[in-house]
Amino acid sequence: MVGQKHGVSALGLKRTLGFGSEQTAWAMLHRYRTAMVLPGRERLVGQVEVDEMWLGGPEPGATGRGAQGKTMVLIAVESADQVIGGCRMQVAGRADKATLTKFLLGNVKAGTRVITDPWPAYRVACGLDYEHRPVTIRSSGLQAHQLLPAVHRVRLSDLLCLSAGSVLLFVVSRGSGL
């Protein structure tokens, strides 16, 4: 997509990544192009779900935030009435307050309602700039994808589908936000 002068067609993407139909390739191409907007784009507003995910194969030892040999990706997704709006992703080395603060300030407009899990670094990162709404998964009796549906839908439908393709590897390796 970025290595060709005129981009790539849906048919070319279908052939390259082995999609079953041109319609599927067109839909994914539209998502890729949406994700590759310029860094000066508008920040997310309204209600925004924020979470992190870990890319990498199974490894022995800790999972989640303590996992070794994996790449952490921060995700912020606008959500309103079960409709997904804009999405921002960024490769990050840690889930600490400095990293989360920088991610939020660069991608989410001040005053926005930010919904996260109760990880303490999110509370500090949101500070007075955002209306922080932590949702506790363990005590709610619900699963994470039910409490933070938008961010988990983006995780599964886009990133995991792409993990076998070169597009995701390019994005992760260049180290910048989407």
pLDDT more than 90, % of the chain: 25
Q: Are residues 140 and 123 in the same domain?
A: yes
In this structure, what DSSP letter does residue 163 have?
T
Q: Are residues 1 and 85 in the same domain?
A: no
H/E element, 25:
helix 22-35
Between residues 120 and 70, which one has the greater pLDDT?
120
Q: Are residues 24 and 69 in the same domain?
A: no
pLDDT digits (tens, 9 = 90+) for 125-145: 999 999 999 998 888 888 888
Between residues 34 and 14, which one has the greater pLDDT?
14
Angle at 164 between CA 158 and CA 167, to 5 degrees: 65
Q: Are residues 78 and 96 in the same domain?
A: yes
For the full predicted model, state whether its pTM sits above 0.85. no
Q: Are residues 65 and 28 in the same domain?
A: no
Q: Going by DSSP bridges, is the β-strand pair 131-134/113-116 parallel, antiparallel, or unpaired?
A: parallel
Q: Are residues 18 and 97 in the same domain?
A: no
Q: Are residues 144 and 73 in the same domain?
A: yes
Q: Are residues 27 and 51 in the same domain?
A: no
Q: Are residues 163 and 111 in the same domain?
A: yes
Which residue range forms the structural domain that includes residue 2?
1-36
Map tokens 């994470």 to a residue.
144
- Cα distance between residue 81 and residue 14, in whole Å: 32
Q: Average pLDDT in the 12-19 region?
A: 81
Map tokens 């890729």 to a residue.
32
Map tokens 């600490």 to a residue.
96
Q: Are residues 10 and 91 in the same domain?
A: no
Q: Are residues 141 and 120 in the same domain?
A: yes
CA quadruple 11, 156, 50, 47: dihedral sign = positive
Burial class of 139 by CB neighbour count within 10 A (0 to 12, 13 to 18, 19+): exposed
- Cα distance between residue 99 and residue 124, in whole Å: 11
- Cα distance between residue 154 and residue 89, in whole Å: 10
Domain count across the chain: 2
pLDDT digits (tens, 9 = 90+) for 16-57: 878 888 888 888 887 777 777 665 678 999 999 999 887 776
Q: How many Cβ atoms are within 10 Å of 155's Cβ, its own excluded?
A: 20
